[in-house]
Amino acid sequence: MATGVLAHDGHHSSAPPHVEPLPVAIGGQHSMGSVCDAIGDIATCVKPHPKNWYIVFGIGFTLAAGFLVAVTYLLTYGTGVWGINVPTAWGFAIINFVWWIGIGHAGTLISAILLLLHQRWRTSINRFAEAMTIFAVMCAGVFPLLHMGRPWLAYWLFPFPNNFAMYPQFRSPLAWDVFAVTTYGTVSVIFWYVGLIPDFGVLRDSAPTKIQRWAYGMLSLGWRGSAYHWRRYEKVYLILAGISTPLVFSVHSIVSFDFAVSIVPLWHATIFPPFFVIGAIFSGFAMVLFLALPLRKWYGLEDFITDWHIDNCAKVMLGTGMLVSYGYFCEVWMAWYSHSLYEADTTWQRLFGPYGWSYWTLIFCNFIAPQVLWYRPWRLNPYILFVVCVIVLIGMWFERYVIVITLTREYMPSMWGRYAPTVWDWLLYIGTFGIFFTFFMLFVRYVPMISITEMRELLPKSAGGQDGHSIAEGPP
């Protein structure tokens, strides 16, 4: 279990005695067949689902019903039921939009960037992280749609030939958002599905019932594992990873442009694009661990999601947390250095104004709390780690809250105001958790949550695997 300094790079057979053992990517004694069974039987329901599945699904489904109530009420009475008003005209809608879409980014990061970096530890968590991405993007998309007030006219956002003789205003970051989020959602689904095709093939051949065999057979598109197909498949998968990496950066940069393009003090910060991207990865990894820790316990997947994976995710969280903290430092530092009247005063309002408590909550959640992860035994303690993840998720929500709340105190004191969400804001927000968990639990139930195909590559050669050679290491 120990992580060597150069852990993931060692493929050495004749290691000198002082070398620490390699980290474990797959625990236990698995063969190719047992990997298929261990993961596939969950999706085909051969292995019964634990009681907790029903509990979480039930809670999720209930909250999803709350979501429907909130949406119905909103559509009946209009966005006035929310707490938004001038000067804070976006409020919860944009906070939650940015929060959800940020969470989604870890899925793509794990799938794409870690693949390109030849990180073997991505393999067992990438599948459900990608699913998390898709559901998070769905939840995120809900908010701007509903904030429009008349969501049935959402197609006006897209350029299409029309008889109003009007086009979207492409110089607006809100128009960029439409394209960014649509592209991101589409590419995430594609990436996820392309990864799933061979796994559906596995389930087609192993599922116990005829309906399952038929359904998985259709979903697998008749994949039969031909070497010609594999070569093309690898290439496409690798390029998809290659383009998904800048896609993640661009999407959250564009989200940050929503703020940074304006000239509101503390919004117009040039560091916003990378700062937002890092924050997104930070919260996304917190969500990955938040989901992975219970899942691996309930489904007995300790052989596939080993301590090594958990440890690495926690390290990434710590690292991105430090970078986000650098962003907080930079904001205050530049406001002071510039000696610009408005920047400095708005910073003061942010730190010590009426909403100062939210700023210090954010500092506690995102900077102070993750510091416990420096200590390895705490990183590997699932309970401590779980609590830190929850704190980070709350902290990243507050980060967006702090940014949005800036509008209550900016240039002109006569324009200053307050912002408070209503019960309908909260119900809609909590309702999206319902959507998320409902879909996620259905995913766990019907789709292999770990890539069966790639896990078999990780097996040692003696068990028929490839000793952990990732897909990306093949020839051009």
Partner 1 sequence: MSDVIEPKIYGLLAEYDRPDPLIEAIKKVRAEGYTKIDGYSPYAVAGIADALGFIKTEMATIMLCGGLVGSTSAFLMQWWTNAIDYPINIGGRASLDVFEFLKSWPSFIPITFEGGILTCALSGVFGLIAICGLPRPHHPLFNANIFSRCSRDRFFLSVEATDPKFDLEATKALLATLSPMSVTEVPA
Partner 2 sequence: MSDAAANTTAFQETPEYRHELLSGPRTKALLIGIAGFVAYGVIGGALVSLGQADVQQFMIAYLVGFLFWVSMSLGSLFFQSIHYVTGGRWGILMRRPMEAHMRTWAFGFVLFLPVIGMMFAGKSSIYWWAGHHPGEHEHAATEGKKEEEKAAHKEAAEGSWHRKNVTKPNLEIDEDRKVAEYLNPVFTAVRGVLYFLIVGGAMFWILSNAMKAENSPDEEAGRIARNRQKYAGTVGIVIFALMMAFISTDWIMSLEKTFASSMFPVIVFDNAAIITYASGMLTLLYLKEKKHPHFENLFPPTEQIHLGSMLLAFTLAWTYFNFSQFMLIWIGNLPEEIPYYLRRTTNGWQYYAIIMTVFHFFVPFMLLLFRHVKSDPKVLRWVCIGLLIVCFTDVFWWINPTFIHENFSVYWLMDIAAWFGVGGVWIWYYLGQLAKRPLLPTRELYILEAYNHGH
As measured in angstroms, the least distance from the Cβ of 425 to partner 1 is: 29
Of 44 and 453, nearer to partner 1 (C-beta) is 453
Q: Do the beta carbons of residue 173 and residue 257 sit within 8 Å?
A: yes
Q: Do the beta carbons of residue 121 and residue 309 sit within 8 Å?
A: yes
Contact partner, 322, from partner 2, partner 1, none, Cβ < 5-8 Å per class: partner 2
Is 253 a binding residue for partner 2 by CB under 8 A? The answer is: yes
1, 69, 243, 263: which one contacts partner 2 (CB under 8 A)?
263
Contact partner, 176, from partner 1, partner 2, none, Cβ < 5-8 Å per class: partner 1
Residue 109 gets which letter from DSSP? I
Contact partner, 11, from partner 2, partner 1, none, Cβ < 5-8 Å per class: partner 2
Of 187 and 293, nearer to partner 1 (C-beta) is 187
Is 182 a binding residue for partner 1 by CB under 8 A? The answer is: yes
Is 375 a binding residue for partner 2 by CB under 8 A? The answer is: no
Sequence-separated (6 or more) residues with CB below 8 Å from residue 448 = 39, 40, 42, 43, 127, 196, 199, 202, 203
For 136, phi and psi rounded to 5 degrees? -65, -40
Burial class (CB in 10 A: 0-12, 13-18, 19+), 376: middle
Contact partner, 351, from partner 2, partner 1, none, Cβ < 5-8 Å per class: none
Q: Smallest Cα–Cα separation from 458: which of 327, 334, 303?
A: 303
24, 98, 249, 349: which one contacts partner 2 (CB under 8 A)?
249
Is 232 a binding residue for partner 1 by CB under 8 A? The answer is: yes
Sequence-separated (6 or more) residues with CB below 8 Å from residue 159 = 167, 168
Say what the alpha-carbon torsion angle 168, 170, 173, 178 is, to the nearest 10 degrees. Answer: 50
As measured in angstroms, the least distance from the Cβ of 387 to partner 1 is: 37
Is 8 a binding residue for partner 2 by CB under 8 A? The answer is: yes
Is 247 a binding residue for partner 1 by CB under 8 A? The answer is: yes
Q: Smallest Cα–Cα separation from 343: which of 278, 270, 397, 277?
A: 270
Q: Smallest Cα–Cα separation from 248: which of 218, 273, 223?
A: 273
Of the candidate spans 72-80, 134-142, 213-221, 401-409, the one that interacts with partner 1 by CB under 8 A turns out to be 213-221
Rounded Cα gap, residues 348 and 342, in angstroms: 10
Contact flags string 111-150 toward partner 2, x per CB under 8 A: -----x----------------------------------
Is 230 a binding residue for partner 1 by CB under 8 A? The answer is: yes
Is 342 a binding residue for partner 2 by CB under 8 A? The answer is: yes
Sequence-separated (6 or more) residues with CB below 8 Å from residue 413 = none
As measured in angstroms, the least distance from the Cβ of 406 to partner 1 is: 21
DSSP helix/strand/coil, 378 = helix
Distances (CA, A) of 137 to 100, 130, 186, 283, 305: 7, 11, 10, 14, 25
Rounded Cα gap, residues 124 and 301, in angstroms: 10
As measured in angstroms, the least distance from the Cβ of 74 to partner 2 is: 32
Distances (CA, A) of 7 to 21, 294, 403: 8, 26, 39
5, 86, 165, 420: which one contacts partner 1 (CB under 8 A)?
165
Sequence-separated (6 or more) residues with CB below 8 Å from residue 69 = 427, 431
Q: Do the beta carbons of residue 304 and residue 38 sit within 8 Å?
A: yes
Contact partner, 360, from partner 2, partner 1, none, Cβ < 5-8 Å per class: none
As measured in angstroms, the least distance from the Cβ of 247 to partner 2 is: 12
Is 157 a binding residue for partner 2 by CB under 8 A? The answer is: no
Of 119 and 250, nearer to partner 1 (C-beta) is 250
58, 354, 460, 474: which one contacts partner 1 (CB under 8 A)?
474
Contact positions with partner 1 (CB under 8 A) in 141-160:
159
As measured in angstroms, the least distance from the Cβ of 332 to partner 1 is: 28
Rounded Cα gap, residues 233 and 252, in angstroms: 28
CB atoms near residue 353 (< 10 Å) = 19
DSSP helix/strand/coil, 87 = coil
Is 37 a binding residue for partner 2 by CB under 8 A? The answer is: no
Is 221 a binding residue for partner 1 by CB under 8 A? The answer is: yes
Contact positions with partner 2 (CB under 8 A) in 275-334:
319, 322-323, 326, 329-331, 333-334
Chain position carrying tokens 């999803």: 64
Is 168 a binding residue for partner 2 by CB under 8 A? The answer is: no
Rounded Cα gap, residues 125 and 447, in angstroms: 14
State the residues that interact with partner 2 by CB under 8 A: 4-16, 18-19, 116, 171, 246, 249, 253, 257, 260-263, 268-274, 319, 322-323, 326, 329-331, 333-334, 337-343, 467, 476
State the residues that interact with partner 1 by CB under 8 A: 31-33, 36, 159, 165-173, 175-176, 179-180, 182-183, 186-187, 190-191, 193-194, 198, 201-202, 204-206, 217-218, 221-236, 239-240, 243, 246-247, 250-251, 253-254, 257, 453-454, 456-457, 464, 466, 471, 474-476
